[in-house]
Chain A
Amino acid sequence: MQRRTVLQMLAVLPNAKAAELHRHEAPAETASPGPRYFSAREYRLLGALSELIVPGATEAGAPEFIDLLASENADYQRRLSGGMLWLDAACAAKFGPAFPDCSVEQQRAVLDLIAFRANGEKDASLVPGIQFFAFLRDLVLDGFFTSRAGIEYLEFRGNSPLKSFPGCPE
């Protein structure tokens, strides 16, 4: 968009939401038939884990975001795919079935073990799972809090041009 057009719009419109007019278009993403990197099974697991980590994260697109980064980064692939298999093995050892086939209570029981660093100090065999979970948790938080839903959840009020700046409201 031409700078002049932007200026005209800023001049004409009330200050609220003028940003809508000259913010960039969303990238033209062709709807992909499925995940770029993860297998269908892994991707379902990623969705379930994302939702457990931050309720609303799956709907907000965290799995797509994580899949995209993983498709471009071999280290992410190793840590995420490896972590999911570690999770399956841990569930199988504890309860019999792999993680997706465990009950929600059983899933939470395993996550409660790997969601806290202190548990690794008591049981070193949990450390790989703890590292995986911390890594995934950061990615899910990134995915959620950079989404429209996440930004609304934080009640962020900026990125919206103002004609004048009132300063601190209190």
Chain B
Amino acid sequence: MAAKVLTEGGLRVVMLEAGPLLDPAKHYTEHLWPYQLAHRGAGVGGTGVNAAGSYEMDVAHIAGSIAGEPYLNAPGSQFHWTRGRILGGRTNHWNCVALRFSEQDLQTRSLKGYGEDWPVRYEELAPYYDRVETLIGVHGTSEGLAGAPDGIFLPPPAPRCSDRLIQQGCASLRIPCIAGRAAVITQPYNGRPGCHYCAQCTQGCHTASRFSASQVLVPPALKTGRLTVVPNAMAREVLTDASGKATGVSYIDKDAGVERRMKARAVILGASACESARLLLNSQSRLFPNGLANESGYVGRCLMDTTAHMVAGDFPQLARIKPHNHDGTGSVYVYIPWWKYQRDNGFQGGYHVEVFGGPMMPKVGLFRREAQEAEGYGAALKSYCKERYGTSIQLHGRGEMIPNHESFCEIDPAGTVDRWGIPVLRFHMKWSANEVAMAKDMRTSLEEIVGAAGGTPLPFEPNAEYGYLNAGGVAHEVGTVRMGKDKRTSVLNGFCQAHTVKNLFVTDGGCFTTSPDKNPTLSILALSWRAADYLLEQARKGNV
């Protein structure tokens, strides 16, 4: 985002990309049938991943494990870190849910007494949400809900049978269940063709009908003639001069296997929250012995992910609908914004619910539960699977995590380095009692919705963390280079600018002060645009 705004504003930008340039024909797996793969999507030896460590039916170079680039977890921590090493990063793969943060999300300390206040108010961010939505295209409906601010929306797609059941169930409970808000264009928009409804946004989109940075932001930046993209460039550290200003970045040219330096008047990190924290922590110097811009000690701290708890329901009535193309967009059709404001829920913060389900493309593991239920073999087993196919609806609770001091990343104290010689991260991640209490509420409420919608919730056995996905599982990690009003407890100001290094910016999710239940990408884009506008202005004034 920043590269587009800066180059269109007249500045020259060099983008260091740790992976290759995007080649959709090579890197995207959209429209692939499982039988076109020898492993059918099961991965090498049933591991789920191919020889390169990527999920077989997913975008290449986006993976939890990268050969030669480990990360570590401290004892008791199980953080899962999904990394993108390809131009556009994880926007090549994302689920496209695009929700605005509200004033209540941004000022939890002042308004509700927990978490932290952001140094940005909703009214300051709203114009940037407007601009981002206008640029990328987001579908949705205006509802006038205070906690879920409306945006500039394209028409949403018509709901599928499974979505309608959940909407009916919610209506009977008087719970809002509204059109999904997603960065999928449902009609031709800004030179991109409308969605072709294959439901495979996370496998890449050849037509760029769902937003990705690589297809929507990089091309116009290149068109200015002022953007240079350097692929396969793994950043090692941010360089500084004796006055404490950033002077550029040292990086490994992965193709040549040598170290190079790129000089710059200003440095913007958009490497993803934890990679940006890692870069700063690894940028040690006499002036910055604890890492660059880390006087507060908050680089790497306050690591948060979206909490995730899923309730699946059986809806045998779905099997009675004639076979039809249920795919649709790959994002949410309907969603339940947080609705329990103004009451005591026994925990702070809230969650929203994303609805998935129905007859999706068959894949490995689809009938594990049916095999357990029916057992046996032969024609009876086969027809049982067919009878049950597509009759599950999943309600995914997506909740706020409150920053806590036990969740952070640090440079591995044992000195582990990756294959590029760069010290690696070690994670410490812990849900607090608040998140566990929220998960219990998700369980109760979502089971109630399933029941009201005419389904039967599937049995559930809670674990110690009450069925939460491991932290990192939603890949919404944020907070590790946070912005704040107080220099003593934050790294950046409200323009993503380091408090102590005026020509250094961090515009990925690392800059988040808190982690509302809402998916982060839209806010990253808005904050990044705002930061780039600010940098342009500072550059014009000669301040950087």
Contact = CB atoms under 8 A, between A and B. Distances in A.
Interface of A: 1-3, 6-7, 10-11, 15, 18-19, 22-27, 29, 52-56, 61, 65, 68-69, 72-73, 76, 111, 115-117, 133-134, 137-138, 141-148, 150-151, 153-170
Contacts of B420: none
Interface residues of B, number: 69
A154 B377 contact: no
Contacts of B345: none
Given A7-B193, A72-B45, A73-B45, A147 B35 contact: yes
Contact of A151 (B33, B41, B44, B196): B33
B196 A163 contact: yes
Contacts of A68: 38-39
Nearest to B25: A1
Nearest to B196: A161
A69 B321 contact: no
A29 B40 CA distance: 13
B31 to A, nearest CB: 4
Interface string B37-66: 111111011110000000000000000000
A170 B161 contact: yes
13 contacts: A3-B24, A11-B193, A22-B31, A69-B42, A116-B375, A142-B366, A143-B40, A148-B35, A157-B325, A157-B326, A158-B326, A158-B361, A169-B322
B377 A146 contact: no
B242 interface: no
A65 B328 CA distance: 30
A148 B33 contact: yes
Given A24-B36, A156-B359, A160-B325, A55 B46 contact: no
A134 B199 contact: no
Contacts of B360: 158
Given A23-B31, A156-B361, A169-B321, A145 B367 contact: yes
A142 B40 contact: yes
B129 to A, nearest CB: 26
Contacts of A148: 33, 35
Contact of A24 (B29, B160, B390): B29
A168 B164 contact: yes
A66 to B, nearest CB: 10
Given A157-B326, A160-B325, A169-B324, 16 more contacts: A15-B196, A52-B378, A61-B35, A76-B46, A117-B375, A141-B371, A141-B385, A144-B382, A146-B34, A146-B363, A151-B361, A153-B386, A159-B33, A159-B198, A159-B361, A165-B158
Interface string B341-378: 00000000000000000011111111110110001111
Contacts of B74: none
B259 to A, nearest CB: 35
B466 interface: no
A41 B63 CA distance: 39
B113 interface: no
Contacts of B363: 146
Contacts of A138: 365, 367-368, 371
Nearest to A77: B45
Contacts of A142: 40, 42, 364-366
3 nearest A-B residue pairs (beta carbon): A167-B158, A73-B45, A72-B45
A3 B377 contact: no
B36 A168 contact: no
